[in-house]
Each structure stands twice: as C-alpha cells, then as structure tokens.
Amino acid sequence: QVQLQESGPGLVKPSETLSLSCTASGDSITNYNWDWIRQPPGKGLEWIGYMYSNGKTNYNPSLKSRVTISVDTSKTQLSLTLSSVTAADTAKYYCARRRGWLSPLEYWGQGTLVTVS
Amino acid sequence: QSVLTQPPSVSGAPGQRVTISCSGTNSNIGAGYDVHWYRQLPGTAPKLLIFGNNRPSGVPDRFSGSKSGTSGSLAITGLQAEDEADYYCQSYDSTLTGWVFGGGTKLTVL
C-alpha cells in the first residue's frame, strides 16, 4: 500500500522560502516519477513541477524562476522549495506519484496547507 | 485561468446520466494526449478516476471517459448521491511541457 505524506511549516512569511518534504512509504523515491501540485483555498489544481526517476526536472513556467524539486541525499524524501513567496502562494500542496512520462497521477499525499502571512 | 476549460457546475437527479466536458487546444488534448479525470471530495486529496479511456481497479463502470478533437468528456451513469464531488480533468501540454488541469466541475446530485 503506497502512502505519501507531505510535511513542512504551515506558515511562511512573505518574501521567505517555502520548503516541503514528501515521504513515500512502501517504495523508494528513486523508482518512480513525482509531481508537486497545489490548490489555493476554494480553487482548482495547479501543476508546480515534476522530477523523473532519472533526476530530470521540469517546472511550470509561471513558477520556474522560484521553484526547485529535488531528492534528499538519503533518497527517502522528495523536496519542494519555493522562494520569494507571496500571499498568492497560499495553498494546499500535494505530492503525487506516477509511473511513466504521460501516466496519470496514481497516488497522492493528503496535502499540507501552507499559509503565507 | 485554467488551460483546460470545464463547466463550473453540473447537476442531475439520482439514476440519471451526466457528462462533464473538458475543452483544450491543439497543444494538449488536440495533440493526442490522454485526458485523465480525478474526483475530489471536500477536504481530501484528488483521486484518480479515469485515465484515458480506462478505469483504475475499484472504479465502477458507471464512470467512463472519452475524447474527440480538442475535447474530453467524463460520463457518469446511474447517478448516486455519493457521486457529489469536484471533478478535474488533466492532460499534457506540449507547449508548457507539463501537466495542465481544468478548473474543476462541482457535481450536485439533486
């Protein structure tokens, strides 16, 4: 049973950097492809970026200058950093797993709410 | 403003059939990329409902997906009260080289 769990501070000050982690139980982070998705309160889903199992990353052009997705050195956690945050970055942040390049997001974490204030 | 366009809301009576449309462009759905559908209950994470024309294990065959031209569609037959949720479509966009989502559709069972 794949379980994903996001973690990180629930409150970040404007202009600071948001840092989140995603832990996957039941399998190695490096065996799959991963995405970060966010959802502002009461709004729809926005793709942030992905990291493939080979380490390749790609980001939403609207966020590209501020976002980094990586895997920690122990290869047990996926990380997301978003710099220079504003109130517009307030959202629930989800990590999600998929198998292949165009595969759907098969497993999602429960999400973690980050408020910028 | 979402890249894929969905109606904000749809509704139907129990037992009826409803469809939710997802309109894209020639850089996503029209380019041949699959449309995936997710269902989100209040306060929970989205859950995969349809991928392309397929259903994950455990999803009833009341749910089906289709695609034509630059649009995709989710059909739900035999509507049940438990189907009330938000539904999102997703596809790949070759211009953005990443995922795009629809704005979501709230389904109300009357």
pLDDT-derived band of residue B1, with 50, 70 and 90 as boundaries? confident
What is the pLDDT of chain B when averaged over all its residues?
97
pLDDT digits over B47-88, tens only? 999 999 999 999 999 999 999 999 999 999 999 999 999 999
Q: Is it the case that residue A75 has pLDDT exceeding 90?
A: no
Q: Give the distance from residue B91's alpha carbon to the nearest chain A alpha carbon, in angstroms.
A: 9
Q: With the C-alpha atoms ordered A35, A20, A66, A29, is the resulting torsion angle positive or negative?
A: negative
In chain A, pLDDT over 70 holds for what percent of residues?
Answer: 99
| Position A37 pLDDT exceeds 90 | yes
Which has more confidence, A63 or A73?
A: A63
How near does any CA of chain B get to the CA of A86, in Å?
Answer: 19
Q: For A82-108, write each residue's pLDDT tens digit.
A: 999 999 999 999 999 999 889 999 999
DSSP of A50-88, one letter per residue?
Answer: EE-TTS-EEE-TTTTTTEEEEE-TTSSEEEEEE-S--GG
Q: Is B50 exposed, middle or buried (0-12, 13-18, 19+ CB in 10 A)?
A: buried
Contacts of A58 in chain B (CB under 8 A): 97-98
